[in-house]
């Protein structure tokens, strides 16, 4: 669906929700952007009617309860409205942890370039009496920071369009071109992956978004393919990534009596003058950094440099998000 049609449908829903009476097609055309036409021109008016019929069918397919009727017995032309009682959401009650999860999700969509949708969703929750405090999730933000390829790949998967991109794996110095029919994007252990059908290899493949280089390019028309039925993206990613044995070791300094979570899986712990030295097994430096930043000043990375640098980068991201939040007065 094109962006202009999506906007027109949204405006149509808003228009029909904003009134209790039935609106005729002519009244809707005069109100909703995207329906402008010359009613005295037969061809132009016919084009509007075809567009309006398609949009009504689309809304009904989406489950929008579109009603047809007349405002009075004297009306000869049918009108349209949306039944509030059928369209309204039930009362939503969220626990504190669920509210925090909503805040994190809203921040994710904002960074993915879908700020309008996130703001709209939060507005609806707040209108229902649910307080979503975006500042409460600030420290968790880097965990859901997305890669530049996230937005174009999610859009391509939604529109069922083939994409092309350059992809680099650690074992190779040069990126290679890939052609993919994306089925969807999923997060697995702090990383984002796209799953789809690799056209060059004629097989299902997963690609880590952080290894996509350059621009993701859409190729061909929308609706060019259909994903498998009952698709489970996480299962695909889990099988593809596999379980890796922690082969590396990191040494951190922990404040005595703190960081109990790290102590439970440390290979070795040694008390010292400035804190307890913990030896931690890991296989992914950035994944470990994502865990360590959660302990704040209670933990300091001593070695290796790759883990220390990853933690510093995470903390810089937190500082940037904090400055952005402060500049907007705490608003998303």
The radius of gyration computed from the CA coordinates of the chain, to the nearest angstrom, equals: 26
Query: How far apart, in whole angstroms, are the C-alpha atoms of residue 181 and residue 179?
Result: 7
d(CA 304, CA 298): 18
List CB contacts of 145: < 8 A, sequence separation 6 or more.
111, 317
**DSSP assignments along 11-63, one per residue:** HHHHHHHS-SS-EEHHHHHHHSTT----TTSHHHHHHHHHHHHHHHHHHHHTT
Distance CA 313, CA 108 (A): 18
pLDDT tens string, the chain, 332 residues long: the values are 555 677 788 888 877 877 777 888 888 888 888 888 888 888 988 989 999 998 888 888 777 788 888 766 676 788 888 876 666 655 556 665 565 555 555 555 555 545 454 455 545 545 545 454 444 444 444 444 567 888 899 889 989 999 999 998 766 668 899 999 999 988 776 678 899 999 999 999 999 888 898 899 999 899 999 988 877 888 888 777 655 556 789 999 999 888 877 887 788 899 988 899 999 988 778 778 878 887 888 899 999 999 999 889 888 877 777 776 667 655 54
Helix then strand then coil, in percent of the chain rounded to 5, is 45, 20, 30
End-to-end CA distance of the chain: 27
Length of the chain: 332
The pLDDT score that the predictor gives to residue 224 is 93
Q: What angle do CA 190, 193, 194 make, to 5 degrees?
A: 160
Number of C-beta neighbours around residue 145 at 10 A:
17
Residue with tokens 């689309």: 58
DSSP state of 119: H
pLDDT at 303: 93
In the prediction, which pLDDT does 177 show? 93
Helix (H) or strand (E) run with residue 281 in it: strand 276-282
What pLDDT does 289 receive?
85
Here the tokens at position 287 are 């994944």
**Would you state the structure tokens that stand for residue 141, as one six-digit string?**
């933000």
Q: Is 163 helix (H, G, I), strand (E, B) or coil?
A: strand
**Residues 34/7, Cβ–Cβ less than 8 Å:** yes
């Amino acid at each position: 669906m094109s962006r202009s049609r999506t906007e027109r449908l949204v405006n149509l829903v808003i228009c029909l929700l904003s009134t209790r009476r039935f609106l005729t097609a002519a009244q809707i055309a005069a109100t909703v952007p995207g329906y402008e036409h010359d009613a005295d021109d037969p061809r132009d008016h016919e084009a509007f009617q075809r567009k309006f019929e398609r949009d009504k069918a689309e809304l009904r397919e989406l489950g929008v309860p579109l009603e047809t009727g007349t405002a009075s017995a004297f009306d000869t032309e049918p009108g349209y409205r949306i039944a509030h009682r059928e369209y309204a959401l039930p009362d939503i009650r969220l626990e504190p942890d669920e509210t925090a999860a909503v805040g994190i999700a809203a921040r994710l969509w904002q960074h993915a370039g879908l700020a309008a949708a996130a703001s709209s969703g939060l507005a609806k929750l707040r209108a229902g009496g649910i307080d979503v405090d975006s500042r409460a999730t600030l420290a968790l933000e880097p965990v859901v920071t997305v890669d530049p390829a996230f937005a174009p790949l999610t859009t391509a998967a939604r529109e069922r369009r083939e994409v092309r991109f350059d992809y680099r794996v650690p074992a190779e110095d040069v990126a290679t071109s890939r052609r993919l029919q994306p089925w969807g994007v999923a997060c697995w252990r702090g990383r984002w992956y796209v799953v789809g059908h690799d056209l060059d290899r004629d097989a299902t493949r997963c690609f880590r978004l952080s290894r996509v280089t350059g621009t993701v390019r859409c190729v061909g028309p929308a609706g060019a393919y259909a994903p498998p039925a009952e698709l489970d993206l996480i299962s695909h990613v889990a099988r593809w990534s596999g379980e890796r044995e922690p082969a590396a070791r990191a040494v951190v300094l922990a404040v005595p009596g703190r960081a109990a979570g790290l102590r439970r899986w440390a290979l070795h712990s040694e008390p010292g003058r400035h804190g307890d030295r913990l030896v931690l097994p890991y296989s992914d430096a950035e994944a470990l950094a994502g865990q360590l930043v959660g302990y704040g000043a209670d933990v300091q990375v001593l070695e290796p440099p790759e883990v220390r640098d990853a933690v510093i980068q995470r903390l810089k991201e937190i500082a940037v998000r904090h400055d952005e939040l402060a500049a907007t007065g705490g608003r998303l």
